[in-house]
Amino acid sequence: MSKPADTKIRNMEEFAAVSGLSRPTVSKYFNDPDSVRPSTRSRIEQALEKYDYRPNIFAMNQNRKLTKNVGIVVPYLADPFFAEIARNIEERLIAAGYRPTLYSAHGNPDLEMEILDGLRLLKPAGVLLAPLGRLSDRAEIEKFCRDVPTVLFDSNLDGIGAAFVGSDNRSFVSQTVEYLTRIGEPPAFFEMRTPANPNANKRRLAYLEHMDKLGLSPQVIKIEGEGWSFEEIGRRGAHDLFERKDLRSNAILCSNDRLAIGLLAACYERGIRVGRGPECTLRVASNDDHPFSRFTCPSLTTAAHDYDSVSSHAVAKLLELIENGGRFSDRTEDLFAARLVLRESA
Amino acid sequence: MSKPADTKIRNMEEFAAVSGLSRPTVSKYFNDPDSVRPSTRSRIEQALEKYDYRPNIFAMNQNRKLTKNVGIVVPYLADPFFAEIARNIEERLIAAGYRPTLYSAHGNPDLEMEILDGLRLLKPAGVLLAPLGRLSDRAEIEKFCRDVPTVLFDSNLDGIGAAFVGSDNRSFVSQTVEYLTRIGEPPAFFEMRTPANPNANKRRLAYLEHMDKLGLSPQVIKIEGEGWSFEEIGRRGAHDLFERKDLRSNAILCSNDRLAIGLLAACYERGIRVGRGPECTLRVASNDDHPFSRFTCPSLTTAAHDYDSVSSHAVAKLLELIENGGRFSDRTEDLFAARLVLRESA
DNA sequence: ACAAAATATTTACGCGCGGCAAGTTTTTTC
DNA sequence: GAAAAAACTTGCCGCGCGTAAATATTTTGT
């Protein structure tokens, strides 16, 4: 404990005094340690070790035009997929010297707007936003993006935000459809009737397109259900499907892993054997490589997001945007390809 | 759009002017709308509808001794259990007029301390902390709790924090053991050798105690593995266990659901039938009622946390603590009983 | 209608820092 | 070793609001 020096430092003035410098110099140091002479820098850092002073964050932010705050907004944090990607993004932002704050809209569009409104008050340097999608209030989010430098990720809203970084849904679906078709019957496509997320629509279109290209007749299964309890919706939908007996293939491609998790649970409940083996009557594949897809029964064959690329690129884009004064000359959409993860379900 | 009145309000001074009041009066209103006369209150709220002004949050926090900020710190947000409880807590705090901010230590003790250090700068009115547990830096956390009103939840650190709110591990284990024993053989207990979380220790002790009380001989299975990838650790540990063939019961009680998820995956991989049916050779029960436990194969019989009670009580305790000036005369530990959720695995 | 109590307003100061301008010192350059 | 450049100091203002004391106004009770 060499820290607690006798004198308590109350503000930058006092800290400047004990380090033998003037306040403006110390202020410069805190805004950019490299903007001062190496010798004075070491004097300050020596004093820092002795007196552990830290600038008042509220006073700093009050006077600076742009703070070091960055908001990360995801649609539904109880989905481990978003928790994982948020973790990844958080780390990178901290490493870049920013103060990320994580928010979840919990599937609620009103809450999504409240979060953005609250974020405004924090004068953030930038925001990384994964919008709810269909339910989002487009007009209000567009307004927000005009005021605050924002990069969208995961789920795109056409034309909104300075840039979009996400996954290439076509790459996801083409790989899974191609694989399933190569080793057996072409798959039916299993999705919610009114998906919350625009990625779902792109995946369906990619499926239809790909089937058409292969000269195969598609079957899209639309299940009922609202909200973010995808697993339960998938489970119920699967039971309905098997009840109706109108599945025209022995392979199913789920729009996303959470639906697949529910579908696999339904299969288990009905004694339907899923997998590649001779005793199996159904193959199931999906998209996302959800953290739990490794532990379904059977383990889930799925197209994996490139977590690292998406998160690092989203952060890079935001930092570029910030350095560029909050504007890009044109809006880019950067998509990353999927990686097919072969497991036991197909 | 009746909002955008011609004049842009820059600060409270200007807003006070357009509402025909003095700034201190308006300031009083924002700190407590009921502290001004109803007539002046309605004048302010009328002006608010016309000019949408909101006080600068940094200036407010700089001058207030205690802000309305509240930190919520969880050990591992990629675990949907914590995401769920955090969501619950967040909602209640917002309803109480606070500004919650969510942080995850991501299983890393250094990050846990960094978060608390960063929280200090925010002068939070209080903090709700679910510590990492065994890995936490007890001394540093204790220091933090001396400076900032803190209520621990989920995972207790003896004597640290103004209060603890969590679940009664004894109630969890007694219900599951009692149930398993009533309908079949008494269970073995399945856990990590060096659990990260103190609840695990309490559950093991409760298991031993309960078995002893029933005059039964316990078997504790300790599996290897470090970190927060509980599912994978459980899966590997289960395979090892079945390889060794020294399981002395046809029932297993897992320390927590995430281990159980891995164990069930291992059972599926080995063709071991789990459940109550005559064709089943193993029963599995667990603790936590993890959001995913409904969708395991078979669905998991488990002891459920009383999410609502724990989160609402934790928030209530914190608000009480704040109103009490940040100190309690003595530290309370409030535990909530489990609710047994019968599903297919046992 | 009047005094007492409750509530508003004015005035004045402070919070901790950013930022600017002018002057002084130190370092770099050739 | 002198001139130029860079870094530092001093002094001052501003940010937007909290807060306290003194004063003025309104409300309440009788």
Strand spans (E) along chain A: 69-74, 99-104, 126-129, 150-153, 163-167, 188-192, 220-223, 251-254, 283-288, 301-304, 332-336, 339-341
Q: What is the pLDDT of residues B43-100, one digit of tens each?
A: 888 889 888 899 999 999 998 877 899 999 999 999 998 999 999 999 999 999 899 9
pLDDT of residue B64: 85
Nearest by CB to residue A78, choosing from B83, B118, B264, is: B83
Verify that B252 and B217 share a domain, yes or no.
yes
Verify that A16 and A118 share a domain, yes or no.
no
| Chain B residues 79-118, Cβ below 7 A from strand D | none
Give the whole-angstrom CA distance, residue A101 versus residue A89: 11
Domain assignment of residue A142, yes or no: yes
Domain assignment of residue B61, yes or no: no
Give the whole-angstrom CA distance, residue B230 versus residue A294: 12
Nearest by CB to residue B80, choosing from A59, A80, A123, is: A80
Nearest by CB to residue B77, choosing from A83, A262, A265, is: A83
pLDDT band, very low/low/confident/very high, at B39 (cuts 50, 70, 90): confident
Neighboring chain B residues of A58 at a CB cutoff of 8 Å: 58-59, 61-62, 123
Q: In which order are the strands placed within the sheet that holds B69-74?
A: A332-336, A163-167, A150-153, A126-129, A69-74, A99-104, B99-104, B69-74, B126-129, B150-153, B163-167, B332-336
Verify that A175 and A294 share a domain, yes or no.
yes
Kindly give the pairing relationship between strand B220-223 and strand B251-254: unpaired
Query: Beta carbon of B294 within 7 Å of strand D?
Result: no
Residue B177 in this model has a pLDDT that exceeds 90: yes
Domain assignment of residue B23, yes or no: yes
Domain assignment of residue A19, yes or no: yes
DSSP state, A135? Answer: T
pLDDT of residue B10: 87
Verify that A182 and A280 share a domain, yes or no.
yes
pLDDT band, very low/low/confident/very high, at B199 (cuts 50, 70, 90): very high
Burial B286-313 (b: 16+ CB within 10 A, else e): bbbbbbbbbbbbbbbbbbbbbbeebbbb
Å separating the CA of residue A132 from the C1' of nucleotide C10: 50
Helix (H, G, I), strand (E, B) or coil at B65: coil
Give the whole-angstrom CA distance, residue B313 versus residue A81: 29
Strand spans (E) along B154-276: 163-167, 188-192, 220-223, 251-254
Distance from CA of B268 to the nearest CA of A (A): 6
Nearest-CA residue relative to C1' of D6: A37
Torsion, Cα of A266, A272, A273, A278 (10° steps): -150
Torsion, Cα of B228, B233, B234, B238 (10° steps): -170
**Looking at residue A217, which CATH number applies to its domain?**
3.40.50.2300
Question: Does residue B95 sit at the A interface (CB-CB below 8 Å)?
Answer: no
DSSP state, A106? Answer: T
Å separating the CA of residue B51 from the C1' of nucleotide C9: 23
Nearest-CA residue relative to C1' of C16: A59
The partner residues of A153 in beta bridges, in order of sequence, read A165
Q: What average pLDDT does the segment B318-331 reach?
A: 91
Helix (H, G, I), strand (E, B) or coil at A182: helix
Segments forming the whole domain that contains residue B26 = 12-55
The partner residues of B223 in beta bridges, in order of sequence, read B192
Residue B220 in this model has a pLDDT that exceeds 90: yes
Å separating the CA of residue A35 from the C1' of nucleotide D15: 24
Domain assignment of residue A60, yes or no: no
Domain assignment of residue A201, yes or no: yes
Give the whole-angstrom CA distance, residue A89 versus residue A83: 10
pLDDT of residue A99: 93
Verify that A198 and A291 share a domain, yes or no.
yes
Measured CA to C1', what is the nucleotide nearest B60?
A: D17
Verify that A279 and A265 share a domain, yes or no.
yes
Verify that B117 and B26 share a domain, yes or no.
no
Kindly give the pairing relationship between strand B301-304 and strand B339-341: antiparallel
pLDDT band, very low/low/confident/very high, at B323 (cuts 50, 70, 90): confident
Number of Cβ within a 10 Å radius of residue B18: 14
Q: Could you tell me which residue, B237 or B227, shows the higher pLDDT?
A: B237
Q: What is the pLDDT of residues A99-133, one digit of tens each?
A: 999 999 999 999 999 999 999 999 999 999 999 99
Look up the pTM and report it: 0.91
Q: From B211, B168, B166, B173, select the one nearest B191 (Cα to Cα).
A: B173
Verify that B293 and B330 share a domain, yes or no.
no
Give the whole-angstrom CA distance, residue A315 versus residue A317: 5
Residue B1 in this model has a pLDDT that exceeds 90: no
Minimum CA–CA partner of A64 in chain B: B58
> Per the CB < 8 Å rule, is B292 touching A292?
yes
Helix (H, G, I), strand (E, B) or coil at A335: strand
Nearest by CB to residue A84, choosing from B78, B103, B262, is: B78
Residues sharing a CB contact under 8 Å with residue B133, sequence separation 6 or more, in sequence order = B75, B155, B157, B195, B196, B197, B198, B199
- Counting as low any pLDDT under 50, the low residues of chain A are 1
Residues in chain A: 346
Question: Does residue A10 sit at the B interface (CB-CB below 8 Å)?
Answer: no
Hey, which residues 199-258 in chain B have their CB within 8 Å of chain A? 231-232, 235
For chain B, how many structural domains are there in total?
3
Burial B208-225 (b: 16+ CB within 10 A, else e): eebbeeeeeebbebebeb
Domain assignment of residue A45, yes or no: yes
Q: What is the pLDDT of residues B238-277, one digit of tens each?
A: 999 999 988 999 999 999 999 999 999 999 999 999 999 8
Query: Beta carbon of B46 within 7 Å of strand D?
Result: no
Verify that A34 and A156 share a domain, yes or no.
no
Q: What average pLDDT does the segment B12-26 reach?
A: 89
Minimum CA–CA partner of B261 in chain A: A295
Verify that B27 and B137 share a domain, yes or no.
no
Question: Does residue B293 sit at the A interface (CB-CB below 8 Å)?
Answer: no
pLDDT of residue A66: 79
Measured CA to C1', what is the nucleotide nearest B22?
A: C9
pLDDT of residue A269: 94
**Lookup result for tokens 């004198």:** A7
Verify that A36 and A160 share a domain, yes or no.
no
Domain assignment of residue B127, yes or no: yes
Verify that B312 and B163 share a domain, yes or no.
yes
Å separating the CA of residue B37 from the C1' of nucleotide D22: 21
Å separating the CA of residue A136 from the C1' of nucleotide C19: 40
Q: What is the pLDDT of residues B125-157, one digit of tens each?
A: 999 999 999 999 999 999 999 999 999 999 999
Neighboring chain B residues of A87 at a CB cutoff of 8 Å: 77-78, 104, 106
The partner residues of B153 in beta bridges, in order of sequence, read B165
Kindly give the pairing relationship between strand B283-288 and strand B332-336: unpaired
